[in-house]
Protein backbone atom coordinates (compact mmCIF):
# COMPACT_ATOMS: atom_id res chain seq x y z
CA UNK A 1 0.00 0.00 0.00
CA UNK A 2 1.36 3.39 -1.03
CA UNK A 3 1.45 6.50 1.11
CA UNK A 4 0.29 10.09 1.03
CA UNK A 5 -1.27 12.81 3.15
CA UNK A 6 -4.63 14.49 3.51
CA UNK A 7 -5.12 18.08 4.56
CA UNK A 8 -8.17 19.74 6.06
CA UNK A 9 -8.25 23.27 4.65
CA UNK A 10 -11.49 24.35 6.32
CA UNK A 11 -13.33 27.02 4.32
CA UNK A 12 -11.12 28.50 1.65
CA UNK A 13 -11.74 30.63 -1.44
CA UNK A 14 -11.81 28.96 -4.82
CA UNK A 15 -8.83 31.04 -5.99
CA UNK A 16 -6.71 29.96 -3.03
CA UNK A 17 -7.61 26.30 -3.46
CA UNK A 18 -6.93 26.38 -7.19
CA UNK A 19 -3.51 27.95 -6.67
CA UNK A 20 -2.71 25.37 -3.99
CA UNK A 21 -3.70 22.51 -6.29
CA UNK A 22 -1.62 23.86 -9.16
CA UNK A 23 1.42 24.48 -6.97
CA UNK A 24 1.13 20.97 -5.50
CA UNK A 25 0.73 19.38 -8.93
CA UNK A 26 3.75 21.28 -10.26
CA UNK A 27 5.82 20.19 -7.26
CA UNK A 28 4.94 16.59 -8.07
CA UNK A 29 5.77 17.00 -11.77
CA UNK A 30 9.10 18.58 -10.82
CA UNK A 31 9.89 15.70 -8.46
CA UNK A 32 10.00 18.03 -5.44
CA UNK A 33 6.99 16.43 -3.74
CA UNK A 34 6.69 12.65 -3.52
CA UNK A 35 3.50 12.35 -1.47
CA UNK A 36 0.10 12.20 -3.08
CA UNK A 37 -2.24 14.71 -1.44
CA UNK A 38 -5.97 14.83 -0.77
CA UNK A 39 -7.31 18.28 0.10
CA UNK A 40 -10.69 18.40 1.87
CA UNK A 41 -12.46 21.75 2.23
CA UNK A 42 -15.51 23.94 1.79
CA UNK A 43 -15.85 26.95 -0.53
CA UNK A 44 -17.76 30.19 -0.25
CA UNK A 45 -20.43 30.40 -2.97
CA UNK A 46 -18.89 29.94 -6.43
CA UNK A 47 -20.00 28.74 -9.86
CA UNK A 48 -17.38 26.94 -11.95
CA UNK A 49 -17.47 26.28 -15.67
CA UNK A 50 -15.74 23.19 -17.05
CA UNK A 51 -14.44 22.73 -20.58
CA UNK A 52 -17.80 21.52 -21.90
CA UNK A 53 -19.98 24.06 -20.08
CA UNK A 54 -22.58 26.20 -21.83
CA UNK A 55 -23.50 29.75 -20.80
CA UNK A 56 -27.21 28.89 -21.00
CA UNK A 57 -26.70 26.52 -18.05
CA UNK A 58 -26.28 29.53 -15.76
CA UNK A 59 -29.88 30.63 -15.34
CA UNK A 60 -29.33 33.57 -12.96
CA UNK A 61 -28.41 36.99 -14.28
CA UNK A 62 -24.93 38.41 -13.74
CA UNK A 63 -26.51 41.10 -11.57
CA UNK A 64 -28.29 38.56 -9.37
CA UNK A 65 -25.05 36.62 -8.90
CA UNK A 66 -23.13 39.77 -7.99
CA UNK A 67 -25.77 40.74 -5.45
CA UNK A 68 -25.57 37.26 -3.91
CA UNK A 69 -21.77 37.46 -3.76
CA UNK A 70 -21.31 34.50 -6.11
CA UNK A 71 -18.00 34.28 -7.99
CA UNK A 72 -17.72 32.75 -11.50
CA UNK A 73 -14.70 30.74 -12.63
CA UNK A 74 -13.82 29.19 -15.98
CA UNK A 75 -11.41 26.31 -15.38
CA UNK A 76 -9.67 23.45 -17.11
CA UNK A 77 -11.53 20.53 -15.52
CA UNK A 78 -13.88 18.36 -17.53
CA UNK A 79 -17.64 18.62 -17.23
CA UNK A 80 -20.23 21.35 -17.36
CA UNK A 81 -21.26 24.03 -14.91
CA UNK A 82 -21.51 23.32 -11.19
CA UNK A 83 -21.88 25.13 -7.88
CA UNK A 84 -19.82 24.99 -4.69
CA UNK A 85 -20.75 26.57 -1.40
CA UNK A 86 -21.14 26.20 2.36
CA UNK A 87 -22.50 22.85 3.47
CA UNK A 88 -20.73 20.98 0.66
CA UNK A 89 -17.61 18.86 1.20
CA UNK A 90 -15.14 19.31 -1.65
CA UNK A 91 -12.21 17.00 -2.29
CA UNK A 92 -9.21 17.77 -4.51
CA UNK A 93 -6.87 14.77 -4.90
CA UNK A 94 -3.47 15.62 -6.37
CA UNK A 95 -2.28 12.17 -7.39
CA UNK A 96 0.34 10.71 -9.69
CA UNK A 97 -1.77 8.24 -11.67
CA UNK A 98 1.46 6.54 -12.70
CA UNK A 99 1.35 4.97 -9.22
CA UNK A 100 -2.15 3.62 -9.79
CA UNK A 101 -3.47 3.37 -13.35
CA UNK A 102 -3.00 5.75 -16.25
CA UNK A 103 -6.65 5.78 -17.18
CA UNK A 104 -8.83 8.86 -16.60
CA UNK A 105 -12.06 6.90 -17.02
CA UNK A 106 -10.93 4.49 -14.29
CA UNK A 107 -9.92 7.42 -12.10
CA UNK A 108 -13.30 9.16 -12.46
CA UNK A 109 -15.16 5.91 -11.71
CA UNK A 110 -12.90 5.39 -8.68
CA UNK A 111 -13.81 8.80 -7.26
CA UNK A 112 -17.48 7.91 -7.75
CA UNK A 113 -16.80 4.66 -5.89
CA UNK A 114 -15.34 6.60 -2.95
CA UNK A 115 -18.56 8.63 -2.75
CA UNK A 116 -20.79 5.54 -3.10
CA UNK A 117 -18.96 3.73 -0.31
CA UNK A 118 -18.95 6.81 1.91
CA UNK A 119 -22.70 7.18 1.53
CA UNK A 120 -23.17 3.46 2.09
CA UNK A 121 -21.27 3.70 5.36
CA UNK A 122 -23.87 6.28 6.44
CA UNK A 123 -26.76 4.00 5.51
CA UNK A 124 -27.60 5.67 2.19
CA UNK A 125 -27.87 3.53 -0.94
CA UNK A 126 -26.11 5.26 -3.83
CA UNK A 127 -25.18 4.37 -7.39
CA UNK A 128 -23.88 5.65 -10.69
CA UNK A 129 -26.27 6.37 -13.56
CA UNK A 130 -25.02 5.10 -16.92
CA UNK A 131 -24.15 7.99 -19.22
CA UNK A 132 -24.25 10.54 -16.37
CA UNK A 133 -21.29 11.59 -14.24
CA UNK A 134 -21.60 11.73 -10.46
CA UNK A 135 -23.38 9.80 -7.75
CA UNK A 136 -27.12 9.42 -7.24
CA UNK A 137 -29.52 8.42 -4.48
CA UNK A 138 -33.27 7.85 -4.36
CA UNK A 139 -36.01 5.30 -4.84
CA UNK A 140 -34.87 4.56 -8.40
CA UNK A 141 -31.55 3.20 -7.15
CA UNK A 142 -33.37 -0.14 -6.92
CA UNK A 143 -32.95 -0.15 -10.71
CA UNK A 144 -29.18 -0.37 -10.37
CA UNK A 145 -27.52 -3.46 -11.78
CA UNK A 146 -25.20 -5.77 -9.89
CA UNK A 147 -22.40 -3.37 -10.79
CA UNK A 148 -24.22 -0.55 -8.98
CA UNK A 149 -25.14 1.33 -12.17
CA UNK A 150 -28.61 2.57 -13.12
CA UNK A 151 -29.01 1.56 -16.81
CA UNK A 152 -28.98 4.45 -19.27
CA UNK A 153 -32.40 3.51 -20.71
CA UNK A 154 -33.92 4.12 -17.28
CA UNK A 155 -31.69 6.89 -15.94
CA UNK A 156 -33.17 9.80 -17.91
CA UNK A 157 -36.73 8.93 -16.95
CA UNK A 158 -35.77 8.44 -13.31
CA UNK A 159 -34.01 11.83 -13.26
CA UNK A 160 -37.05 13.60 -14.71
CA UNK A 161 -39.36 11.84 -12.25
CA UNK A 162 -37.14 12.78 -9.31
CA UNK A 163 -36.69 9.09 -8.49
CA UNK A 164 -32.91 9.52 -8.56
CA UNK A 165 -31.31 12.66 -7.16
CA UNK A 166 -27.75 13.88 -7.59
CA UNK A 167 -25.80 14.03 -4.34
CA UNK A 168 -22.18 14.18 -5.56
CA UNK A 169 -20.46 15.71 -8.60
CA UNK A 170 -17.13 14.81 -10.21
CA UNK A 171 -14.92 16.98 -12.41
CA UNK A 172 -11.30 16.07 -13.06
CA UNK A 173 -8.19 17.27 -14.85
CA UNK A 174 -4.77 15.69 -15.37
CA UNK A 175 -1.49 16.94 -16.80
CA UNK A 176 1.32 14.43 -17.29
CA UNK A 177 -0.90 12.08 -15.23
CA UNK A 178 -0.92 14.39 -12.21
CA UNK A 179 -4.51 15.07 -11.20
CA UNK A 180 -6.28 18.22 -10.02
CA UNK A 181 -9.91 19.12 -9.25
CA UNK A 182 -12.06 16.25 -7.99
CA UNK A 183 -15.42 15.78 -6.26
CA UNK A 184 -18.12 17.65 -4.35
CA UNK A 185 -20.43 15.87 -1.90
CA UNK A 186 -23.51 17.75 -0.70
CA UNK A 187 -23.49 17.48 3.07
CA UNK A 188 -26.21 19.73 4.50
CA UNK A 189 -29.35 21.28 3.02
CA UNK A 190 -27.50 24.61 3.02
CA UNK A 191 -25.41 23.32 0.12
CA UNK A 192 -28.44 23.15 -2.18
CA UNK A 193 -29.37 26.83 -2.28
CA UNK A 194 -26.92 27.80 -5.03
CA UNK A 195 -28.08 25.14 -7.47
CA UNK A 196 -31.11 27.31 -8.24
CA UNK A 197 -28.78 29.57 -10.23
CA UNK A 198 -27.67 26.86 -12.68
CA UNK A 199 -28.68 23.77 -14.61
CA UNK A 200 -26.54 21.35 -12.56
CA UNK A 201 -23.96 19.66 -14.79
CA UNK A 202 -26.11 20.69 -17.77
CA UNK A 203 -28.79 18.09 -17.02
CA UNK A 204 -32.32 19.47 -17.42
CA UNK A 205 -34.78 18.54 -14.69
CA UNK A 206 -32.23 17.11 -12.28
CA UNK A 207 -33.02 17.21 -8.56
CA UNK A 208 -30.00 17.88 -6.35
CA UNK A 209 -30.00 16.58 -2.79
CA UNK A 210 -27.76 16.34 0.25
CA UNK A 211 -26.94 13.81 2.96
CA UNK A 212 -29.02 15.80 5.44
CA UNK A 213 -31.94 16.13 3.01
CA UNK A 214 -31.98 12.34 2.64
CA UNK A 215 -32.57 12.01 6.39
CA UNK A 216 -29.02 11.32 7.55
CA UNK A 217 -27.14 13.56 9.98
CA UNK A 218 -23.37 13.36 10.33
CA UNK A 219 -20.86 15.87 11.67
CA UNK A 220 -18.51 17.35 9.09
CA UNK A 221 -15.39 16.08 10.85
CA UNK A 222 -16.78 12.53 10.83
CA UNK A 223 -17.81 12.83 7.19
CA UNK A 224 -14.28 13.87 6.26
CA UNK A 225 -12.87 10.84 8.06
CA UNK A 226 -15.33 8.54 6.26
CA UNK A 227 -14.22 9.97 2.93
CA UNK A 228 -10.55 9.47 3.84
CA UNK A 229 -11.21 5.88 4.93
CA UNK A 230 -13.02 5.00 1.71
CA UNK A 231 -10.44 6.84 -0.41
CA UNK A 232 -7.74 4.69 1.17
CA UNK A 233 -9.74 1.54 0.48
CA UNK A 234 -10.54 2.33 -3.16
CA UNK A 235 -7.07 3.58 -4.11
CA UNK A 236 -5.06 1.23 -1.89
CA UNK A 237 -3.18 4.08 -0.27
CA UNK A 238 -2.52 5.07 3.34
CA UNK A 239 -3.11 8.77 4.03
CA UNK A 240 -1.67 10.49 7.07
CA UNK A 241 -3.36 13.67 8.27
CA UNK A 242 -1.06 16.67 7.96
CA UNK A 243 -1.36 19.84 10.01
CA UNK A 244 0.50 21.90 7.41
CA UNK A 245 -1.66 24.12 5.19
CA UNK A 246 0.67 23.70 2.21
CA UNK A 247 2.72 20.77 0.80
Which residues are the active-site residues? 201
42 three-class SS: strand
How far apart (Å, rounded) are the C-alpha atoms in residues 66 and 138? 34
Length of the chain: 247
How far apart (Å, rounded) are the C-alpha atoms in residues 212 and 34? 37
List the one residue out of 100, 137, 95 whose CA is nearest residue 115.
137
How far apart (Å, rounded) are the C-alpha atoms in residues 33 and 119? 32
How far does CA 51 lie from the centroid of its chain? 16
CB atoms within 10 A of CB 129: 25
What DSSP element (H or E) covers 230? Answer: helix 220-235
Sign of CA dihedral 160, 163, 169, 171: negative
Amino acid sequence: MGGGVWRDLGRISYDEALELQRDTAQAKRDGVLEDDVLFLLEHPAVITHGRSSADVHVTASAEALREAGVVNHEIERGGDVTYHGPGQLVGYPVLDLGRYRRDLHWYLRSLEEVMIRTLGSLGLDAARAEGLTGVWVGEGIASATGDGVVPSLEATGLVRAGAIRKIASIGIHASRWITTHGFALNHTAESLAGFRWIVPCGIDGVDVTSIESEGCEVRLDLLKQRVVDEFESVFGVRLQKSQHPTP
